[in-house]
Amino acid sequence: MPTFVQILDFIGTFAFAISGIRLASAKRFDWFGAYVVGLVTAIGGGTIRDILLGVTPGWMTNPIYMICTALALLWVILFGKYIIRLNNTFFIFDTIGLALFTVVGVGKSLSLGYPYWVAILMGCMTGAAGGVIRDVLINEIPLIFRKEIYAMACVIGGVFFWFTHLLGMDMVLVQLISGASVFLIRVFAVKYHICLPQLKGEEEDEHTKQ
């Protein structure tokens, strides 16, 4: 029997893979390309985290992530045109994934003995880096660098993890509060179009461009 966290993990992986496969399909990738982009979106963040932490990436010990991405690809092939109607559903799933990946990333880093500021960074990376690699592979500027509160929700969720943990709360409660804060901040930011300020562009000269 899968646990509640495993079900959330599956939902998050599926939603992240769908987001990668949909963008790949907009670029007319073939099935293989779409699968790779979906897989990278789903596991990319966790893989970079695990390489930095010096442990074997989770997806190399459990085929569930590759199977889950294959199901996501099958879903898009079969029901592609119906997915647009489900946009709000996928937004919710995607945000569940973001929240869960953040909590998992923070928790794993702490359990390996890293300090809090590393753990918060790793939580943010687990949630957001997959999407950055996805955008690099489809040759676009990473969306999260220009739009919406996304990775910032992970950072704030990581800080909530830290504070509630410092207060001596039970670990289940810590994870719940941290994950819920990521989820709510993202939903709230999208609903009310809250963004970070942009930097003002400037003309570049050649010397400092290096």
The CA distances from residue 93 to 86, 111, 176, 199, in Å, are 11, 27, 16, 31
30 binds a second copy (CB under 8 A): yes
In the complex, minimum distance from the CB of residue 177 to a second copy, in angstroms, rounded to a whole number? 23
**Is 156 a binder of a second copy (CB under 8 A)?**
no
Q: Please name which of 141, 153, 143 lies closest in space to residue 191, comparing C-alpha atoms.
A: 153
Give the count of residues interacting with a second copy (CB under 8 A). 77
Cβ 130 vs Cβ 100: under 8 Å = no
Nearer to a second copy among residue 116 and residue 169 (C-beta): 116
* Cα gap 64→60, rounded to integer Å: 10
Contact by Cβ (8 Å): 126, 45: yes
Give the residue, chosen from 21, 42, 156, 185, that forms a contact with a second copy under the rule CB under 8 A.
21
Amino acid (1-letter code) at residue 97: G
Of 8, 17, 76, 185, which lies in the binding site for a second copy, with binding defined by CB under 8 A?
76
Report the C-alpha gap between 147 and 150 in whole angstroms: 8
Give the x-and-dash track for 187-206 against a second copy (CB under 8 A). Answer: ---x----xxxxxxxxxxxx
CB count in 10 Å sphere of residue 13: 30
By the rule CB under 8 A, 173 interacts with a second copy: no
Q: Which 41-60 positions form the footprint of a second copy (CB under 8 A)?
A: 47, 51-52, 54, 56-57, 60
Contact call for residues 182 and 151 (beta carbons, < 8 A): no
Q: Which of residues 78-97 bind a second copy (CB under 8 A)?
A: 80-81, 83-84, 87-88, 90-91, 94
The answer to whether 27 contacts a second copy (rule: CB under 8 A) is yes
- Residue 72 as a binder of a second copy (CB under 8 A): the answer is no
Segment interacting with a second copy, rule: CB under 8 A, options 6-14, 76-84, 161-169, 174-182: 76-84
